[in-house]
Amino acid sequence: MENTEKVPLKKILLICSKASIEDVYAALVMGNGAVMEGIETKLFFTFFGLDAITKKTMTKLHTATTGNPGMRMPGGLPFPTMLGGLPGVEAGVSAMMRKQMDALDIPPVDEFLELITAGGGEIYACKLAMDMFKLTKEDLHEEVSAVITVGDLYEMCDGPGTQIVFT
């Protein structure tokens, strides 16, 4: 007989591997929401997701304008993929996205990191990706707890009620 007893979510691990505004903010919004709900929260940034926690790049995130089937133009028409490759289009779309986020009082990345850690959440960077991109802990925002391996990450995920989410 299958056990269908629901186990409450006690711990969440969010993995961010991309540096587009929409991917980074998905991880940050979910992480902040989990902290606010009293869920033990850890965010792990790997590969290009490291841009979100690297001091030099965290304020320069862009919206993915090519290969994004959900991208729409004003009026709801699909955004033609070919337009995304034209000079200045990605920068313009990204600026428009940031303006909309500002109008909704969505905090910038660094403030989101501070909110998450102030609420008890933890921020980690992937050692393999750090080595690949020749980054050091000093290159990262001060809210990053540590640079860890994937093995270290999985050791943090023990016990029932743990959920891993890849954004």
Phi/psi at 125 (nearest 5 deg)?
A: -115, 145
Range of the domain at 55: 11-61+81-166
Separation between Cα atoms, residue 15 and residue 4, nearest integer Å: 27
pLDDT at 100: 78
* Full-model pTM: 0.84
Domain count within the chain: 1
Q: What is the mean pLDDT of residues 139-156?
A: 95
Mean pLDDT score across all residues of the chain:
86
**Range of lowest pLDDT (23-37, 121-135, 145-159):** 145-159
Q: Binning pLDDT at 50, 70 and 90, where does residue 91 land?
A: confident
Amino acid at 45: F
CATH number for the domain that contains residue 162 = 3.40.1260.10
For residue 72, tell me if it sits in a domain: no
The pLDDT of residue 149 is above 80: yes
Residue 41 inside a domain? The answer is: yes
Does any domain span residue 145? yes
Could you tell me the sign of the dihedral formed by the alpha carbons of 119, 59, 47, 142, in that order?
Answer: negative
- The verdict on residue 21 lying in a domain is yes
Residue 76 lies in a domain: no
Percent of the chain with pLDDT over 70: 81
1 is a domain residue: no
* 67 is a domain residue: no
In the predicted model, what is the mean pLDDT of residues 120-126? 98
d(CA 128, CA 150): 8
As given in the structure block, the two tokens for residue 143 are 């809210």
Q: What is the pLDDT of residues 2-38, one digit of tens each?
A: 666 777 788 999 999 999 888 999 999 999 999 999 9
Which is more confidently placed, 49 or 80?
49
Q: How far apart are CA 18 and CA 25, in angstroms?
A: 10
- Is 4 part of any domain? no
Q: Given this model, what pLDDT does residue 99 score?
A: 83
What pLDDT was estimated at residue 160? 75
